[in-house]
Amino acid sequence: MSNAKSAQLLQRLTARLLKADPTLPSGLPDKGLTLIECLVAIVMVSLVIGTVAPALVISTATRIQSQKTEQALKVAQAEIDRVRTIVERGTYETVELPQSTPVTTENKTAVRGSQYVIEYPESVDGPQVGNLRDSTTAYTGLGPFDARRVDVNGDGNPDLAVQVYRSPGRLRPGSNLPVNFVMGVRVYDIQAFEGGNTGNLPVEQSRAAMTAGEGDRRRQPLAVLYTSVAKGDVTNSYCDYFTYLGSTPSANFRCD
């Protein structure tokens, strides 16, 4: 085929693609897509992706946030159940409990000798960023402003960090063993300790809302639980609990 014929054929094919050659036989069937149709399809696909992508990002980020919050709640509840089990068991020592926080004016309402009444665990500062401990650290090595790493999925990498502490509470007569106290548990995303934060982390729980990113979990706790723990099978424990709450049982009230 000569160069002239090849050039002519190429010109006619180009005109066919651009719908600009009326001399081509009308009886030939159309096969495939034209260049313009391909461009239109590409534009339409891009528009669809651009419309759907933000919704997918928000959906994925929100699902991850909800999953992290659920995991954090389970970790927090497990810490509370652990301490309650120790206290209800009866034979326990102070070293088996979370370490006590220093009581200040902000987190107590009354003082009875050396014992504090109605402590407020929510007023205790959050953990210090530099006080991140290993996942195997016992309560004896975990200060009230420390946090312990938690590996949720067992891959060897920490996912969360938990702060556990208690108030001094009311002591058993004649000993330093607390029988009534309040405890607090705050669970943070591990990134809160690795994202350039300094000092004590915030204590207000992050909002579990729709988000397109990491939300508040880079600083604020994912789960926060406060509860009272009391041992009820020691002499006068019932009356001690009333006193701990800041009230006095009536004279005819049986405490045993």
Per-residue pLDDT tens digits for 182-201? 899 999 999 899 877 889 99
Opening angle at CA 40, ends 35 and 43, nearest 5: 130
Spans of the chain, pLDDT less than 70:
1-33, 60-62, 103-119, 173-174, 208-215, 232-256
* pLDDT score at 8: 63
Task: Give the H/E segment covering residue 10.
Answer: helix 3-17
Task: Encode burial over 173-203: b for 16+ CB neighbours within 10 A, e otherwise.
Answer: eeeebbbbbbbbbbbbbbbbbeeebeeebbb
**Half-sphere exposure in the Cβ direction for 25 (13 Å, CA):** 3
79 by Cβ neighbours in 10 Å (0-12 / 13-18 / 19+) ranks as: buried
* pLDDT score at 148: 96
How is residue 248 written in tokens? 């006095």
CA neighbor of 189 nearest in space, from 166, 217, 208: 217
* pLDDT score at 113: 47
Beta bridge partners of 128: 200
CA neighbor of 149 nearest in space, from 166, 129, 132: 132
How is residue 62 written in tokens? 């929100």
Beta bridge partners of 165: 184
* pLDDT score at 217: 74
How is residue 21 written in tokens? 């050659």
| DSSP-derived secondary structure letter, 16 | H
d(CA 185, CA 169): 16
* pLDDT score at 97: 93
Q: Are strands 132-133 and 147-150 parallel, antiparallel or unpaired?
A: parallel
Query: What is Dmax (Cα atoms) for the chain?
Result: 121
231 by Cβ neighbours in 10 Å (0-12 / 13-18 / 19+) ranks as: buried
d(CA 47, CA 43): 6
User: Which DSSP string corresponds to 58-91?
Assistant: HHHHHHHHHHHHHHHHHHHHHHHHHHHHHHHHS-
d(CA 137, CA 143): 10
Q: What is the pTM of this model?
A: 0.66
How is residue 209 written in tokens? 């809302």
How is residue 90 written in tokens? 């009866």
